[in-house]
Structure 1
Amino acid sequence: MAEKPHHAEHADLPELGLPPQLYTESGEERRLGVEIEFGDLSIKTTGAIITSLYGGKIKIDDPYRLNVENTRLGDFLVELDAVYAHPQRPAPQLDQDGPSPEENPKKPEFLDLIAETIGDLSKSWVPMEIACPPVAIRSLPALETLVMALRDAGATGTGRQIYYAFGCQLNPELASLEIGHVLGQFKAWLLLEDWMREKAGQDLSRRLTAFANPFPRDYACHVLADRRPPQWDQFVEDYLRDNPTRNRDLDLLPLFAHIDEDYVKSLGDERIKARPTFHYRVPDSRVDEPGWCLTTLWNDWLRVENLAADRPMMEAMTRKFLAKSWSRSQWADEVSRWIAP
């Protein structure tokens, strides 16, 4: 049974909801990772804000990437979210048919120059991103202080410019890695996905640029209708057959890498970081708007976990979903009749 909601430290924040399962199988409180994108603050200013709130020491990797280490919450990463702005990060080859590094000893300096140029040109439209250390769910209000400080310092969100396609990501740790538990929560997501996307209020700039796509309807129907005993191998195989991409609102590849790292490495995407979490992409980051907060995003995610814990409602919604062919807007409207606002 879920514990009572936790009262946020800030009086103007909504109450922090707690999940049906607050603890992992090992008895530890589940943790939540958060990534926030925004514009119009320099990387140095952002690092200084973090140290002023949580302590720690700044370590600069390059002009557009730094770490804030050993804060009271853990280590933060701050970076301009563009691959070529970071010469140390694995990136697509600039000259696959050109000379090798041995044949071109000046290539590292050349990449540094490109990185600095791209960083300077793109910092007006490519988001700055903070990857926060995972915190215990009940400690999420500690990160609300960061959101407020960014807002006060002049950080801007998706709505400020037509080309600001900023987002936010939540990485909720799973209470259990047992396939039945994971699949139950994933099925709940498939039932709520259209409604969640509509509720998120996806900004126009996200529609003009490439935000994550929903899961294909045929795949969702296959998963929801499947009555076979769940098996990890079959689940992963089916997922990758129909979703050979990270371009989904709920990205399961980091979780799959945690379960079977060698298999996911064989996919050839070095950006996939193994972790026992879902990776939920929220289409907007409205860090500059009063009232926008991480607690609301978390409480929205809790709709998925609460539905997964309500077996009778899950079964009833699944029957309804499979009974006819719904457009996405039709199903979002139908879900709103089942889910309290």
Structure 2
Amino acid sequence: MNKLHNNCKLPPERMNHEGKMRKVGIEIEMAGLTPLQIVAAVKRHFGGDEAMQGSLEYGVLDTTLGDFTVELDSTPVKKAYQQASEMRLPSPLDDAGSIIKDLAENWVPWELVTPPVPVNQLDAINELVGDLRNQGALGTTKAPQYAFGMHLNPDLPDLDATTIVRHLQAYLCLYDGIVARERPNFTRKLTPHIRHYDEAYIKKVIAEDYAPDIDTLIDDYLAHNPTRNRSLDLLPLFKFLRAEKIDREMNDPRIKARPTFHFRLPNSDIDNPNWGIHIAWHEWLAVEWLAADQERLEQMCSAYSQELDRFGHHLDDQWETRAKEALQQ
């Protein structure tokens, strides 16, 4: 079994807004394994009880970390499977649900969703990743249609507007460097799921005088980003803070309220023996370290504002180079 010990470093601020150890929810998409193989791997590492939770959705409950979920990551496929199962069609179509499932697995990933994991226990998920790899899990690069991702959902050290803005500013400044290091799969870039913010919104957020309260911050975000399809999706966080506003403006049941960022950019390169969750986690930690250093953050925002106005910005990689250097600091 591939072992990735002590790879996940700790963030600059380790306690959340409740004074408890911060946690990270992790979502990993993959092919090559059956859901029961994924469930079995989770049980080997963390114990727990297997449970069927719905159409194409399995649970591993009461593990040492909490409840895991394994599901086929497509609501339309789940609905079609459920309808086929309920129809109870006669032979040879009585297993129409299985046919739908088999076809879907060639295009739609199985997604492993962890419970919120304490930041000092993330290496345990890397151990699970190694086990899944050895069992035959396949990631983003193994087929053209595998637009698979890994999402990180770190909770925040605080829920005030200043904390949120600083992290968002840091992410915007470092984005080009993160993309250069992460190199999102071409197929994933063709889908809408990890689109970046538009330039007008970026300039607004990194401006020297941008200091909104929570409601203004959310209003500004919704005006420019009325969608879940962002590489850093803030809608779950904003729904946690202002549920009625988000429900009224978005009316999307897929938005789940939680006090976390939703970092959606990274690939799921699970079959690569050198890959683990620590790679994307350390990209995110660069954002956190920049957000925690007010003087450096102000310098980066000022420089990036000037860069966006520079003639030729879109024709070369000057800011990408600076952002990659900043990831190392």
Query: Given the two structures, how large is their TM-score scaled by the length of structure 2?
Result: 0.89
Mapped to 2, the partners of 1:13 and 1:166 lie a distance apart of 25
Mapped to 2, the partners of 1:12 and 1:80 lie a distance apart of 27
Contact residue 250 and residue 280 of structure 1 kept, 8 A: yes
- Residue number in structure 2 paired with 1:182: 164
- Residue number in structure 2 paired with 1:18: 10
Alignment match of 1:335 (pick from 304, 323, 328): 323
Alignment match of 1:318 (pick from 256, 276, 301): 301
Mapped to 2, the partners of 1:209 and 1:58 lie a distance apart of 33
Displacement, 1:337?
Answer: 4.0
Displacement, 1:150?
Answer: 0.5
Contact residue 85 and residue 116 of structure 1 kept, 8 A: no
Contact residue 60 and residue 67 of structure 1 kept, 8 A: yes
Contact residue 150 and residue 268 of structure 2 kept, 8 A: yes
Displacement, 1:226?
Answer: 5.3
Displacement, 1:339?
Answer: 3.8
Displacement, 1:109?
Answer: 2.1
| 1:214–1:228 CA distance, 2 compared to 1 (3 A) | closer
What is the number of equivalent residue pairs in this alignment? Answer: 317
Letter in 2 for 1:18: L
The alignment status of 1:79 with 2:71, answered yes or no, reads yes
Mapped to 2, the partners of 1:119 and 1:147 lie a distance apart of 24
Query: Given the two structures, how large is their TM-score scaled by the length of structure 1?
Result: 0.86
Displacement, 1:111?
Answer: 10
| 1:229–1:126 CA distance, 2 compared to 1 (3 A) | closer
Mapped to 2, the partners of 1:139 and 1:54 lie a distance apart of 12
Displacement, 1:114?
Answer: 6.9
- Residue number in structure 2 paired with 1:109: 86
The alignment status of 1:233 with 2:210, answered yes or no, reads no
Letter in 2 for 1:23: M
Q: Return the structure number with greater helix share.
A: 2
Letter in 2 for 1:288: D
Matched position secondary structure for 2:264: strand
Displacement, 1:235?
Answer: 0.5
Deviations, residues 264-323 of structure 1 (Å, cap 9, x unaligned) = 122210011100000001331011111101112111110000011112211111111112
Letter in 2 for 1:57: D
- For residues 1-341 of structure 1, the aligned pairs below 5 Å read 12-13=4-5, 15-62=7-54, 64-87=56-79, 109-110=86-87, 116-225=98-207, 227-266=209-248, 267-323=250-306, 324-325=309-310, 326-327=313-314, 329-340=317-328
Displacement, 1:119?
Answer: 2.0
| 1:205–1:319 CA distance, 2 compared to 1 (3 A) | same
Moved more, 328-337 or 225-234: 328-337
Q: What CA RMSD, in Å, does the superposition of the two structures yield over aligned residues?
A: 2.5
Displacement, 1:160?
Answer: 1.0
Matched position secondary structure for 1:67: strand
